[in-house]
Amino acid sequence: MLTCAEYIWLDGTQPTQQLRSKMRILNLTLGEVNLAELPQWGFDGSSTNQSAGHVSDLVLKPVNFVNDPIRGDNNYLVMCEVMNADGTPHKTNTRAWLREEMAQGAEKQEPWVGFEQEYTLYQYDRPLGWPANGYPAPQGPYYCGVGSDRVFGRELSELHALACLEAGLAIYGTNAEVMPGQWEFQIGYRGFSSESADPLNMSDHLWMARWLLSRLGEDMGITVSLAPKPVSGDWNGAGMHTNFSTKSTRDEKAGWNAITVLVQAMSALHKEHIAEYGADLADRLTGLHETCDINTFKMGESDRGASIRIPEPVSNKRCGYIEDRRPGANADPYRVSARILKTLNGVEKTNYISG
Ligand code: ADP
Ligand code: MN
Ligand code: MN
Ligand code: MN
């Protein structure tokens, strides 16, 4: 059957890689599509900041796919890794870094993640719902609000959530945010035993969900900004809180110890983590607006001014997951996950060596 496959990849724009995609007609076996059936494809890397003009051909290697909720039945969104012509990962292929950390031991720890993607909608060069001149009334009534005087862009947020569901992406929920025109959706562990919330799959899902959001915005004349501090002053920034757990942190007996050891290791590597958590992070991590300042590492139970927050049910049960509140909305989930797993792998090695 002839179907449309939208091949999606990360380009080489610095400091923040952007999404690119193109469509190809494939002849696929109806109802039984698997990854092996999706062919590799090429693209012009010189137009995506990924190569020089004289050696421009790069390879798109399909690594994950879901239903395309826009084109409908039997069409697909295909997440790709960018490879060099010789089959090695391209230097902009951050998913390969994450694969490497999974293979270095983290996979055995059965890591699960959940990303809270905040974003800001824009129309006419200003956040959606903002007046043409001046500012809206101060923050307070907007977070999880209802009513056309306090919520702007619900139509797109809803359309996106339903599109994610139809696609088969692991969307967990949505909410209107503290700054008017700002929203959040979460992708990650949902407590459904049948699905995998491993960092590779969930990061693929987040990238495809980001693609869908911008794509649906096209039809409404609305753009999506992942800037970590879209409006300076007394307005909340936009983050990508990353919730993380392993077999050990989830264990009723060993959980609290595993959490403490992991957070200690993360504390010692604060700068190294910050370096992977997105561009322009200092603008958002000021110590105000529910953040911890960029030069301080602080763990806190139920504390939204902490770098790492232990959610209340977790401190209660002494096991579960941690919330890393540092990543910016523009962070690459492959890089954030890879950095956390690298720290985890370090902890595992130390524990192993010390017996
Ligand atoms: P917040 O209270 O910080 O706004 P949300 O309700 O927006 O939290 O999101 C909760 C996030 O925690 C979701 O992304 C979900 O996938 C994630 N999560 C829940 N349990 C786990 C777990 N055991 N391991 C990893 N992530 C988890
Ligand atoms: Mn949230
Ligand atoms: Mn939020
Ligand atoms: Mn959060």
Regarding the beta carbon of 198 and ligand 1, being less than 6 Å apart is answered no
Q: Are strands 299-301 and 308-310 parallel, antiparallel or unpaired?
A: parallel
Confidence of residue 265 (pLDDT cuts 50, 70, 90): very high
Closest ligand 1 atom to residue 241 Cα is 3
CA 285 to chain centre: 18
Residue nearest to atom 1 of ligand 1 (CA): 116
Closest CA to 149 of 176, 122, 111: 176
Tracing tokens 């010390």 back to the chain, one arrives at: 354
CB-neighbour burial class of residue 60 (10 A; exposed 0-12, middle 13-18, buried 19+): buried
Mean per-residue pLDDT of the chain = 95
| pLDDT (tens digit per residue) in 61-115 | 999 999 999 999 999 999 999 999 999 999 999 999 999 999 999 999 999 999 9
Structure-token pair, residue 108: 């055995």
Domain boundaries, the chain: 2-91, 103-353
| pLDDT (tens digit per residue) in 10-25 | 999 999 999 999 999 9
Regarding the beta carbon of 51 and ligand 1, being less than 6 Å apart is answered no
2-91 to CATH, choices 3.30.70.141, 3.40.50.1820, 3.10.20.70, 3.40.640.10: 3.10.20.70
| pLDDT > 90 in the chain, percent | 92
Confidence of residue 352 (pLDDT cuts 50, 70, 90): low
Mutate to test the pocket of ligand 1, among 116, 190, 308 (most ligand atoms within 8 A of CB): 116
Mutate to test the pocket of ligand 1, among 186, 303, 326 (most ligand atoms within 8 A of CB): 186
| pLDDT (tens digit per residue) in 182-210 | 999 999 999 998 888 999 999 999 999 99
CATH architecture assignment, domain 103-353:
2-Layer Sandwich (3.30)
| pLDDT (tens digit per residue) in 279-298 | 999 999 999 999 999 999 99
Closest ligand 1 atom to residue 115 Cα is 14
97 backbone dihedrals φ, ψ, rounded to 5°? -65, -40
Closest CA to 189 of 241, 112, 259: 112
Q: Is the pTM of this model over 0.85?
A: yes
H or E element in which residue 202 lies: helix 199-218
Report which DSSP code applies to 114. Answer: E
Does residue 332 sit in helix, strand or coil?
coil
Structure-token pair, residue 335: 């890089």
Average pLDDT value for residue range 162-176: 98
pLDDT of 348 reads 80
- Decide if 10 contacts 18 (C-beta within 8 A): yes
